[in-house]
Amino acid sequence: MQGIGDSSSLNGLVHKVLNAEKWALEACERLVKFIESSSGELIITYTGLGYAAASTLYWLITTLNPSKQPVLQDSDTIALYRLIYREEATAIFFNTKPDDPSLIRLGDASRWTGGKIYIITPKPPETIDALLRGANRIIVPCPPSEIGCSLYEVLLAHYTGLRLYGISGKRVDRLKKFVDAGFSIVFEELIANYRDVISNILSIREVIVSSTGFLEPASYVLIKALRSKGVRASYIPLNMLEPSSSDNILFLTSSVEDYVVKEKRFKAMIKGARVFELRFNLDPLEIPVYVIMLALYMIQ
């Protein structure tokens, strides 16, 4: 983390977020048009850190438009157990690894059943790219980093979810207003608020990251960043966490989860575990974007 707090480093990170925002705002129009023009079951699927984007799109749709009930599942489960039994389905696939073989498996399953698929992925190598020609695709112009790619994709998912089906209401209006202002403008404030916690976490050798299911996808991005810095990070769902005195535990939480998290945090402290917390007092639908921005800060 040496040097990361200086203004030139932060300006560079702000510029990266701004570029991702600009790209996602343009790309979301294609994805919105594809989803709204499709029929049948809507399947949102993923591999790797695409989990965060897929989950973001899923929660935006189901929370802001309860009449829509898409399916959220990993790509191999969808390819092997669901898509082959659906003659008319629409799949949105978020992938953060350009050479992931799941691209081929899901593409094949879609062709066999006649389902419609839209693939969001960094540019694959030629051998895979040749097999995907003809498929609807959005190529993510992200840096050679899964975490950087996940930022592009989660922003795309966020913007798409807010523009689908003509949804409206006070919460939607507030979320759209913030999108118009941009996430990049609060990057420095975000780092200032969480820099000490991040520094403390990066100073230890091993940590358990724990959250509710809602923030599980974002937790995996955080874990990827921690591992890249030499921290042995693992994930345990909050409802399965059994703390011990030797544990270092990072709780990733939202303020709406305070009542649920408080019990586990208290139990961990009683057991003698060392406790850290990244708590966000924000609309939960925005939190994955902020977590990935923090992960991007960690890996610089």
Residue 260 φ then ψ, to 5°: -70, -45
- The highest-confidence range among 3-7, 56-60, 66-70, by mean pLDDT, is 56-60
Return the residue matching tokens 């593409």.
107
What would the two tokens of residue 219 be? 């937790």
Percentage above 90 pLDDT, the chain: 64
Give residue 2's pLDDT.
44
182 backbone φψ class: left, alpha, beta (φ>0; ψ -120 to 50): left
pLDDT at 1: 44
Q: What is the pLDDT of residues 187-224, one digit of tens each?
A: 999 999 999 999 999 999 999 999 999 999 999 999 99
User: In terms of pLDDT, which residue wins out, 113 or 38?
Assistant: 38
pLDDT band at residue 23 using 50, 70 and 90 as cut-offs: very high
Average pLDDT estimate for 19-37: 94
What's the whole-number mean pLDDT along residues 82-103? 81
Amino acid at 300: Q
Fold of 184-299: Rossmann fold (3.40.50)
Residue 279 has which token pair? 């708590």
CATH 3.10.20.30 fits 7-181, yes or no: no
Residue 5, pLDDT score: 55
At 69, is the pLDDT very low, low, confident or very high (cuts 50, 70, 90)? confident
Examine the pLDDT at 134 and tell me if it is beyond 80: no
Secondary structure tally for the chain: helices H, strands E:
11, 9
Give the chain's mean pLDDT: 89
Global pTM value: 0.92
d(CA 100, CA 258): 37
Output the pLDDT for position 137: 86
Q: What is the mean pLDDT of residues 75-103?
A: 82
First to last CA, the chain: 7
43-57 pLDDT, tens digit per residue, is 999 999 999 999 999
**Residues forming CATH 3.40.50.10490 domain(s) in the chain:** 7-181, 184-299
Burial of 292 (0-12, 13-18, 19+ CB in 10 A): buried
3-class DSSP state of 4: coil
**R_g (Cα) of the chain, nearest Å:** 19
Query: Cα dihedral sign for 46, 212, 300, 178?
Result: positive
Give the per-residue pLDDT at 115. Answer: 66
Q: What is the pLDDT of residues 216-239, one digit of tens each?
A: 999 999 999 999 999 999 999 999
Tokens of 171: 């919460």
